[in-house]
Amino acid sequence: MKSRRAPLALALALVLMLALAGAGSAAAATTSPAEVVGQNAPQLVPHSKLPGAGAFEGPVYKVAVDGIEIGYRQFGHGPDLVMVAGDTAPMSLWMPYLLRPLAQSFRVTIFDNRGVGYTTDDLARPITVPLMARDTGELIEALGLVKPTLVGWSMGGEVGLTLAEQEPSMLGALVTTGGDAGSSHTVPPPPGLVRKLANPKTGDSVFLELLFPPTAAGGAATARFVHGYESIPQEKVSPLTLKRQEAAEESFLRYTGTWRGLPGITTPTLLTNGALDPGVPPVNARRMHARIPGSALSIYVGAAHGMLFQDAERFAGQIASFSARAR
């Protein structure tokens, strides 16, 4: 990758990225944002439509939520799907080859977490996972989404679990990949990894080695990911946001609220993880599965933290089938 890399956001504070999708064409959102929010109408961001592979995602809109403005894109047709990226991952890191198949089954909403890309921040408030869960819930309400499926990758999985625990009736289904529930019950990433990944001087090879295993399949997935990454203009993430979200991830590793609340989650939940994930070991998904009533578990053999990119078509299909069963 080139030096213009935006930081990637891994789940347990692994700074990585989420995905866009690939196959076929997807149309823009069928509902005008101004029609779903009344007086708090989203504002179009001029000249924000992506070129080339990302053009189907449409332009960015911004809407006022929880004291900040959240930048988001909507595209596709069908029931609503909200995708939550890892901590410092901008929505530009969702690879088109994942988003395209999803857009064939859902109206997809992707957005930037606070302080990232098109979304503003409030420096008077520390960033925490519960705060980002609140942001996500208020975005869902502002856009008038009813019982959406939420897909959270890495820290986005933590956000999804926390939201499902805090707002039991908001989501229609929850899918996490490479996420955890914090507390001493979580097997943490290797010592120093969170700080290393939040360092803008860290080389791209470190991120790619966490995403994909050193196998033939991992090599092919790496090449596909790099090509997709370089085909999309990447949003900026400031050093200050890197530090603030690093602190949020470190704090979540000590936070006990989400872990304690897992048995009370009533949202149909699918927990996924790469079997070879060095940053978020699959034992965390298994432990959450044992605590969330009726949850499903899927471990991807031969994949690491980037399993959703390595097996993009399979993952997109699994989301669609699980969401359909939940409805």
Q: What is the pLDDT of residues 62-101, one digit of tens each?
A: 999 999 999 999 999 999 999 999 877 999 999 999 999 9
Query: 60 falls in which pLDDT band (50, 70, 90)?
Result: very high
* C-alpha closest to that of 148 among 31, 60, 58: 31
Does a structural domain hold residue 45? yes
Does a structural domain hold residue 19? no
Q: Assign 164 to helix, strand or coil.
A: helix
The whole-number pLDDT of residue 191 equals: 76
| 19: its two tokens | 């995905």
Roughly what angle, to the nearest 10 degrees, separates helices 155-166 and 129-142? 70
Does a structural domain hold residue 125? yes
| 199: its two tokens | 């360092």
The whole-number pLDDT of residue 219 equals: 98
Comparing 25-39, 118-132, 249-263, the range with the smallest average pLDDT is 25-39
**Looking at residue 28, what DSSP letter applies?**
B
* Domain region containing 224: 33-326
Does a structural domain hold residue 154? yes
The whole-number pLDDT of residue 194 equals: 66
Determine the average pLDDT of the residues in 238-247.
92
Does a structural domain hold residue 161? yes
- Whether 179 and 154 have beta carbons less than 8 Å apart is answered as yes
Distance CA 51, CA 140 (A): 27
Does a structural domain hold residue 262? yes
Distance CA 242, CA 238 (A): 6
Q: What is the mean pLDDT of the chain?
A: 88
Does a structural domain hold residue 28? no
Comparing 192-196, 204-208, 296-300, the range with the smallest average pLDDT is 192-196
* C-alpha closest to that of 258 among 155, 130, 172: 130
For residue 316, the domain's CATH number is 3.40.50.1820
Query: 38 falls in which pLDDT band (50, 70, 90)?
Result: low
Determine the average pLDDT of the residues in 36-56.
86
Q: What total of structural domains would you count in the chain?
A: 1
Does a structural domain hold residue 10? no
Distance CA 311, CA 180 (A): 20
Residue 201 has pLDDT above 70, yes or no: yes
Query: 163 falls in which pLDDT band (50, 70, 90)?
Result: very high
Q: What is the pLDDT of residues 109-131, one digit of tens each?
A: 999 999 999 999 999 999 999 99
